[in-house]
Structure 1
Amino acid sequence: MARQQAPRSVLSKACDCVTELAIRHPGDLAQRLAARLSLPLAEARVLCDQLADLQWLVNAGTADRPQWRPGALRQVVRRYGLAGLQEDVPWQQDFAPYFELPAHVARIAQHAFTELVNNAIDHSGGRQVTISMRQTPLQMQLLVSDDGRGVFNSIGRQFKINDPVHAMLELAKGKLSSQPERHTGRGLFFTAKMADIFDLHANGAAFQQRGWENEDWQRGRPVCGRGTSVYVAVALDTERTVDEVLRRYSADGAGYGFERTVVPMKLLTAPQVGLESRAQARRITQRLTDFRRVELDFDGLQDIGHGFADELLRVFSREHPQVQLVPVNMAPRVAALVHSVAEPAAA
């Protein structure tokens, strides 16, 4: 006879709290679940068995005297008021104790967690933040959502940027902060570079970055109706480390100075909108003087306009010789035009 299954809604609520309850109350988990979810004890016991079948729980005891512990799947969900919140406290008290991550992944998780929650505290203008962290057999997954004004509106107010695409371009460069006296604009940039999957949703816009796609930024489908939501996923077998990523964006790859960046040129394109004008080039070059080396990533572009290339690679380079511009991932026609404007004119 098939075991009765809990309704999907009950199962979802159980997944949000069972990891914490299993660690705190391994011997009387069914009773704790029954109280938390307002279930009869018999249904809570069936629910524990169902969660074990789904890898949320492991019974280290016997059928008559179960001793539950978290399984391969773990999850903690919390909501906090932003007023007076300190981002390290939720991590230390409510999240870190309930996960078993490889040491270098745990450090990435802590970095992402504290940076994203701090952004919500300092920049969102909201009242609450909801944090969900999940461990699967393959990944660490983190979702941080606030109810504030939205990151692209925040950038627009501070920097007079009305288009979310242009705001995302500046975020993609790094060193962008609406509070430069308190922040250096590293948090979101480096968190994205440490992740295998990074999704940013705000103000009716969405952008995503995938570690296996040359870390290019792509437009996505927005799902956030209010505030900002950031989703991060990191493979448990990743070879990335916090230290390696920080060093990667120093000029020599050995220090910790944020001296190098990559500009995703395709981000400014859309159907029937290519890179043609000098105005687009000037938008690309905004704040590039904050860096010593800038890689101009032309991945996915088959053509660019002469005016765009000339303004970017001749005019800007002549005015700012201290900034090394390095075009990468160029299609043949793009490379030919880039070389034609970058090379000195024949005598």
Structure 2
Amino acid sequence: MNMPIVYNLLTTFKNMSILKAVNNNIIKMDIKGLILSEIKEKGETTVAQISKKTGFSRAYIHRFFQSLTEEGLIVKIGHANRARYVLPENSAVKKAKLDILSFNRMFPIKGLEEDKVFDLIKLETGIFENVSENTVGVVEYAFTEMLNNAIEHSHSDKVKVSVKRECGLIRFDIVDLGVGIFENLIHSRHLTSVEEAIQDLLKGKQTTAPEEHSGEGIFFTRRIADTFVIKSSQKRLFFDNAKNDFTVSSIKPVLGTKITFVVSEDSRRNLTEVFKKYTNESFEFSATEVTVKLYQSGGSRSFVSRSQAHRILYGLEKFRKITLDFFGVAMIGQGFADEIFRVWKNKYPETEIISLNDNEDIRFMISRAKEKLAQAEL
């Protein structure tokens, strides 16, 4: 082959390469321009819409969206197939977010950080748009505390997070497939039953990792919710703060733990006020409430023995103020009252014990025990 022919072939191939590169740049410019044009005209667009319009695959089109996002020319709202793109204007972003009021994701627990998950929810959805700062703070505290519990204590590989806003309520569910909250307490605190684990949990300051956690999470979270539910093992705890009541019921066995938290969009529950109620001047978690009827056995509404008192008092030496709620309790015996209001009080004199919802008979037995303590101190 002579040199002119070789030269012409090389020149042709070179020109074809240049033309191909130019065409690719034109295509890129056209697709980027099309994306921006669609957003300006319609307010938003998706990868699927541009893919359908151009005939290119979604994977190929996604590159252009990613490039425009990195350049700061568009903003992604939503996740995966629900992702939409808008111009980076506050009004456009806010409007797009308001159409996305739910979030569902399965996360691997290893390396997971609860605050980053919450930030991701705020970034990808409009769940917290136009919601008061107070309510957002309440949900953020509860969500991060409960997700942290799953991360630190569940021994699960994954955790499912669901958050939604509808009918004036914000709800989140956190589900792990680990050992279960009650079984974990039984093992770590050497308890004998799920019932004991529930009793222990509700006092507060009970944790399976005392070196790393204060045991405050569930105690405070259940008090700032409208409703709060724990499902684990074969038990369901339902807290209804609107009615100031809770129930414990038997359910089909649950693998791991499921937490459900619900609060009104315009909730007036104030996190600071709840903290103040149960903390001292040094902001230490120093107060708790114990619902006495939770410790009843055999359906009896009476508490007469010292052993019953021991079960209620277990772990309460950590607190400086204890409120015993006698709602639903008919009477208490001399031994029960004496053990709490004389023997235990004498051992921990700095701890204040308050009775709530007590009837005349209960108040009489408490007074007798307190009188004996006073006489002993003379």
* 8 Å contact kept, 2:342–2:373: no
In structure 2, what is the Cα distance between the partners aligned to 1:202 and 1:341? 39
Q: Give per-residue Cα distances to partners, 1:26-59, cap 9 Å, x unaligned.
A: 6346957xx9xxxxxxxxxxxxxxxxxxxxxxxx
**How far is 1:133 from its partner?**
0.8
Partner of 2:199: 169
> 1:107-137 deviations in whole A, cap 9, x for unaligned?
1111111111111111011111111111124
Corresponding residue SS for 1:208:
strand
Deviates more, 1:295-304 or 1:217-226: 217-226
CA distance in 2 between counterparts of 1:72 and 1:230 reads 26
- The answer to whether residue 328 in structure 2 is matched with residue 300 in structure 1 is yes
* Structure 1 residue aligned with 2:189: 159
**1:229 has 2:246 as partner:** no
Task: State the number of aligned residues.
Answer: 288
**Corresponding residue SS for 1:189:** helix
Q: Give the equivalent residue in structure 2 for 1:313.
A: 341
Provide the rounded CA distance (Å) in 2 between the counterparts of 1:26 and 1:129.
Answer: 35
Q: Do structure 1's residue 27 and structure 2's residue 44 form an aligned pair?
A: yes
Cα distance in 2 between the residues matched to 1:135 and 1:119: 23
Please name the residue that 2:120 is paired with: 93
Identify which of 217, 224, 233 aligns with 1:187. 217
Percent identity of equivalent pairs:
28
Aligned to 2:178: 148
User: Structure 1 stretch 160-169 or stretch 318-327: which is displaced more?
Assistant: 160-169
1:250-279 Cα offsets, whole Å, 9 max, x none, are 24xx65221111111111125534423211
Paired letter, 1:144: I
Q: Deviations over 1:131-173 (max 9, x none)?
A: 1111124211111110000001111111111222221222211
Letter aligned with residue 360 of structure 2 = P
1:242 and 2:276 are equivalent in the alignment: no
Which stretch has the larger CA shift, 199-208 or 91-100? 91-100
SS of residue in 2 equivalent to 1:203: strand
> Where in structure 2 are there 5+ consecutive unaligned residues?
1-41, 53-93
1:49-106 Cα offsets, whole Å, 9 max, x none, are xxxxxxxxxxxxxxxxxx9846688211111111121111211113454122211111
Q: Distance in 2 between matches of 1:107 and 1:92?
A: 12
Alignment-derived partner of residue 48 in structure 1: none
How far off is 1:328 after superposition? Answer: 0.8
**Equivalent residue letter for 1:139:** L
Is the radius of gyration larger for structure 1 or structure 2? 2
> Take 1:26 and 1:287, find their aligned partners in 2: how far apart are those partners?
59
Are the equivalent residues in 1 in contact too, given 2:223–2:274 (CA < 8 A)? yes
Instruction: Provide TM-score, normalisation by structure 1.
Output: 0.76
Distance 1:183 1:345, change over 3 A: closer
Indicate the residue corresponding to 2:248 in structure 1.
219
TM-aligned CA deviation for residue 346 of structure 1: 9.7
**Runs (5+) with no aligned partner, structure 1:** 1-24, 36-66
RMSD of the alignment, in Å? 2.7
**Counterpart Cα distance in 2 of 1:196 and 1:125:** 29
Q: In terms of mean alpha carbon deviation, does 134-143 or 93-102 score higher?
A: 93-102
* Aligned-partner SS, 2:255: coil
Which one of the candidate residues 287, 290, 293 is aligned to 2:315? 287
Amino acid of the residue matched to residue 89 of structure 1? K
- Write the distance in 2 (CA, Å) between the matches of 1:93 and 1:137: 23
* Cα distance, 1:345–1:162 mapped onto 2, change above 3 Å: closer
Shift of 1:224: 5.9
Distance, in Å, in 2 between the alignment partners of 1:177 and 1:233 is 24
SS, match of residue 244 in structure 1: helix
